[in-house]
Every structure is written in structure tokens, then in C-alpha cells.
Amino acid sequence: MPRGITLSRVLTWVTEIPAAILVVVEVGILFAGVIWRYVLDSPLVWSDELAGMLFLWLAMLGAVIALRRREHMCMTAVVARFPPRWQRFFAALVAMVVATFVAELLPQAVSYMISVDAITSPTLGIPDSWRVAGLVVALALLLIAALQQLLSGMHWRDLLAAVVIVAVLGLGFWALSPALIAMGTASLVIFFVGLVSLCIAAGVPIAFSFGIATIGYIAFATQIPLSVVVDQMDQGMSSVELLAVPMFVLLGLLLEMTGIARALVALMSALVGHRRGGLSYVLLGAMYLISGISGSKAADQAAVAPVLFPEMKRRGAHPGELVAQLAAAAAMSETIPPSLVLIIVGSVTGVSIAALFTGGLLPATVAALALVAVIAVRSRGDSPSGERAGLGRIGRAFFVSIPALVLPFLIRFVVLKGIATATEVATVGVVYACVIGIAVYRCFDWRRLMPILVETAALSGAILLIIGSATAMAWALTQAGFAQSLAAMMTSMPGGRIGFLAISIVVFVILGSVLEGLPAMVLFGPLLFPVARGLGINEVHYAIVAILAMGIGLFSPPFGVGFYQTCLIGRASSDDALGKIWPYMGALVAALAVVAAVPWLSTGFMR
């Protein structure tokens, strides 16, 4: 290799540049589909087909970027308690598990690609193997990246220990395979409780924890061919509705750069910023408004915190209090359309995404009012700070914010009027945000565009790999009869609908904390929603209750990954926020109880 060119740099070139280009191409294809269908009345029949074909390439290249950047979702709370010497060992073990999973999957992916070569797309006539080739190429790159992490900077003792542990576990499962097959569904506990828990506790990214457990179960406890894992992962990641994921991630990242988030925050600050706890109300309102635009909680928080936190700290706010409010606001806003969670729940459970969009607003309002009550009580002893804005300043702030205020209404209007699908609507927002940033607010930084495109691909790839591995895991659980057993157990719970809702809330709070939000919903949504339907619970109502519960778990310590993500964004110690967050989470639990008890809040505005 020429001097100055390293393997790491080559991997950057072959992943980040194509991924950034694919993001731009996807936006162009989907937006063109909207224009040709609605404006020119001449639908592009091939647009969804081509976008879907490129989507798998984008998702898998993003997964490679996320692995190289160590941005895959994982739980580090347990490993962080160990001394640095042990943390290095766990890092080697994580890399070894990832490499093992990918090495097992790669030959199966090649076989799968060959098997679908005869299938061609209906309009363009392109072999499906061209699409699946993205999976094969990315798995090869994932293997290279995992091996690079394993061999770079690792002490030989850590490397040897990781290899021995994975080899011993593999040989042990192989030797016990006849016994595991004879155990039947009981072996599910070994792989999907024991192995998954050990992997997650060791810091293995959730997507790979699900994947290695699924491969282990199918290889050692069944006689099903491993190729089914690739098939299920492909089906899980290839749903056309999931194209909304990278589009909304991109929109969320553009909000801060284009000045839209700053304009909205400035207006709310002018209106209530001078009151006791005024900027806390602004933070809450900003999260409510911006969540309706970006659909991504990390993007929402990253857009709001840099604008508000410096002034809030100047006024004497405790850093832990700020992080607690930001985390609670993010949990509150999980059901505000067009939340990615709403879109993903709709895609994996078959519930109408438009109905979820309609049903999510009022429950989020109830949760927001609960947080307002907590802020009012906790700021009772504060002195008003800041000057009351005059009508002139408020008028100027309102005038400046008009283009930003249009965006959330534009997104909802475009979806509800059928101008664009839930998949396409984010592209309308992306184009609008770019135009406003360039022509109106004049703060479109072209130098930041490439990093934003790469970040879009990485975050989308991390999310979609979780969906793919969770889909394969859910399929294995269903084939093993777990779904039927779960349905029977949940149906027989005392209390009927109320008992089922109460148990579901507890389950999703726990799962949201331990597994993060999306994997918990993808894994258990298809299993629990039919039970809810059988008990006569409206699917939209059940979805909203489950999402709120999941959000509370996701942003609650000690295990909620969202809580630690918020601490990083807010640049505050988790110890500082730990004692401050509980009143806010208590208010959200009370709001959740109200939403669960009053189905009309979720279904009252549905047609």
C-alpha cells in the first residue's frame, strides 16, 4: 500500500463517500417522486423501486461507518464500573463477538445473493442480487473493520482471552447441540435471555447481541439452515416505510445548521423567557415543536441544548437539572409526529402510520403539561430573570420565526393531504430547510454538509441493523412457539384489558431501559399487538401507551441509554443529573397512567 495510505483511510473512502452520495440520491429520488406525482401529475413508477434498491446499500454502509466510529447502540453502564485494564479486555471481547457474527453471516449472505439473482424488479428489470450485493459488500467491510479493531492497539493477552472465550462457548454449544435440540423451547432461555444479557452487559452493540444469539440458537438448537437469518434481516431492513429513517435523521441534523431551531427557540424565549423557570418552559416547548419536524430525539436534543443551555447556566441553573429536563422532554416527545418510532412501529406491526401520527399529539400534550407542573413547582422559589421582552422584540422574533414555524405544519399538511407518503415527507422538509437556510436565514454552512451526510448514514445504519437483527430474532422466537406462549400468558393475566395494559407498561419501561427503544419495539411489537387486538384494545391506543412507556425507560437511569446520551449532549455528569431526574420521570409516569386509562386521548381525533 502506498506510503501515507492506511487501511483506515481506505475504509473511510469506500464507506463514507458512497454513503454520503447515496443519502443525496435518495433525497433526490423521493422528492422527484413527489413533484412528478403531485405537481406534474405524471407519477414516476420506478422511483420507489430504485430508492428501495439503493436503500439497503445505504443502510449497510452506514452500519459499517457506525462500527468504525463505535456509534452502534450499546449499554456501557456495567463495563464502565470496571477498571481500565478490564475495559480493554471487554473491548477485545466485543470486537471478537462482532467479527464472529459477521464471519458466520457472510457466506450465508453470498448464497442468498445468488439465490435471488433470478428475481427482477417489476419496472426496471434489475436483478434483486444487485440490491442484496450491498449486504454482502457491507458484511465484508464490517468483518475488516471488526478485525482491524481487534488487532489494533489490543494487548495480546486481551486478544487471546477474547478468542478463547468465544471459541470455548462455540465448541460448548456445538457439543451440547443434541441436548439443546431436545430441550425444545426451553433452549430459548439460554440464547435469548442468557446469551443476549451477557453480550449486552459486556458492551456488545445491541444489533450484534441479537444477531449472535439468533445465529447461535438456529445453529445449535434447531435444524433450520442459517440462511434464514439473512433472509429475515433483509426483510426487516427493506421495508419501504423505513426509508423515512435516514430522511428524518438528515432533517433533524439540518435544523440547527440552517437556523430553524434557533429561530423557534428565540421566539419562545421572547414570549416566556423572563418568567420563573421561563427558559425551562422554552426548552420544553422547543422539544415539542422540533420533535414534530425531525423525528429524531438525538437530533432534537443536539439542536436545542447548544442554544439554551449557556443562558440557562448563566442564570444559575444546575447542570444536572438541565440534563434532567432535556431527558424528560425527549421522553415526552416520543409520540409527536413524525417520530421515527411511530413510523417504525407502523411498519413492523401493520398499524396505520397516518393514524399513529394523529393519535400521538394529544398524549404528548398531556405529558408536556405534567412536566410543566413539575417545572412550576421546582422554580417556585426562583426570582424572575431576564428582561420582559417588549412587543417590538416579540414581533421581530415572530416575524423571523415564520419560515421555521411553517415547517412542522407543512410536514403534517403534506402527509394528511396525501401529497407525500410518510416515507417521502421528510424529503419535502429537507428541501424546505435547505432553501430557508440558504435564502432566508443565510447560515447554511456548506463545509458541514459532508459530515452531516455521513452522520445521517451512520445513525441510520445503526438503527436499521438493529431492526434487521431484531426481525430475525423475532422470527426465531415465533417459530419456536414463544409468540403463542406469550399470547396465552398475557391473555390469561388477571384484570382483562386493564391488567394487560398495566403489564405492558411495566414490560416496555424495562425493555426500553435495557434494550433501547427501537429494538424493544421491533422485537416485541409484532408479538404483543395481536394480543392487544384480541383483547379489544385499539391498536393506536396500545401503540401510544407502549411508546410512551418505552420512552420513559429509555431516558431513565441507571440503564436507560438515552439518559447517558443526554448527559453527553448536555455536557454534564450523570451523577449530577441522577438525583434531579426522578420528579420529571414521576410526572411522565402519572401522565402515562392518564393516557392508558383514557383511550380517547389517543383515538379521539381519528377519522
Query: How does DSSP assign 93-150, residue by residue?
Result: HHHHHHHHHHHHHHHHHHHHHHHTTT-B-TTT--BHHHHHHHHHHHHHHHHHHHHHHH
Within-domain flag for 350: no
Given a contact cutoff of 8 angstroms between Cβ atoms, the answer to whether 512 and 522 are in contact is no
Residue 83 half-sphere exposure toward CB, CA atoms < 13 A? 1
| 214, part of any domain | yes
The pLDDT score that the predictor gives to residue 273 is 61
In the predicted structure, residue 115 carries a pLDDT above the cut 60 = yes
Does the pLDDT at position 3 exceed 70?
Answer: no
Is the confidence at residue 111, as pLDDT, over 60? yes
How many distinct structural domains can be found in the chain? Answer: 1
Q: Does the pLDDT value for residue 451 go beyond 80?
A: yes
Candidates 63, 27, 15; CA nearest to 459 is 63
- CA proximity to 412, closest of 469, 478, 336: 336
Tens digit of each residue's pLDDT (9 = 90 or more) over 369-402: 999 898 888 877 665 555 666 777 778 888 888 8
Q: Quote the pLDDT of residue 589.
A: 93
pLDDT of residue 62: 93
pTM score of the predicted model: 0.78
- As a whole number of angstroms, the distance between CA 543 and CA 70 comes to 31
What pLDDT is stored for residue 283 in this prediction? 80
Distance separating alpha carbons of residues 101 and 120, to the nearest angstrom = 29
Q: Is the pLDDT of residue 450 over 90?
A: yes
Name the residue among 157, 108, 63 with its Cα closest to residue 116.
108
Q: What is the mean pLDDT of the chain?
A: 82
Terminal-to-terminal C-alpha distance of the chain: 63
Is residue 81, in this structure, part of any structural domain at all?
yes
- Evaluate whether 120 touches 127 at the Cβ level (below 8 Å): yes
- Residue 182, domain extent: 7-238
- Among 568, 580, 558, smallest CA distance to 78 is for 558
Q: What is the pLDDT of residue 561?
A: 66
Residues in the chain: 607
SS3 587: helix
In a domain, 598, yes or no: no
Return d(Cα 52, Cα 565) in angstroms, integer: 31
Q: What is the pLDDT of residues 144-186, one digit of tens each?
A: 998 888 887 777 888 888 889 999 999 999 999 999 888 877 8
Which of the two residues, 48 and 65, has the higher pLDDT score? 65
The reply to whether 491 falls in a domain is no
Is residue 166 assigned to a domain?
A: yes
Distance from C-alpha of 365 to C-alpha of 507, rounded to nearest angstrom: 23
User: pLDDT class for 594, splitting at 50, 70, 90?
Assistant: very high
Q: Where are the alpha helices (DSSP H) in 379-423?
A: 391-416
**Three-state SS sequence of 60-98:** HHHHHHHHHCCCCCCCCCCHHHCCHHHHHHHHHHHHHHH
Is there a domain that residue 458 lies in?
Answer: no
Res 247 pLDDT > 90: no
Q: Does 141 reside within a domain?
A: yes
The proportion of the chain whose per-residue pLDDT surpasses 90, expressed as a percent, equals: 17
Burial 399-433 (b: 16+ CB within 10 A, else e): ebbebbeebbebbbebbeeebbbbbbbbbbbbbbb
Please tell me the predicted confidence (pLDDT) of residue 175.
92
Q: Which of 156-160, 189-193, 264-268 has the lowest mean pLDDT?
A: 264-268
Q: Rounded distance, CA 135 to CA 127, Å?
A: 14
Residue of 91, 85, 135 whose CA lies nearest to 113: 135
pLDDT higher at 515 or 282:
282
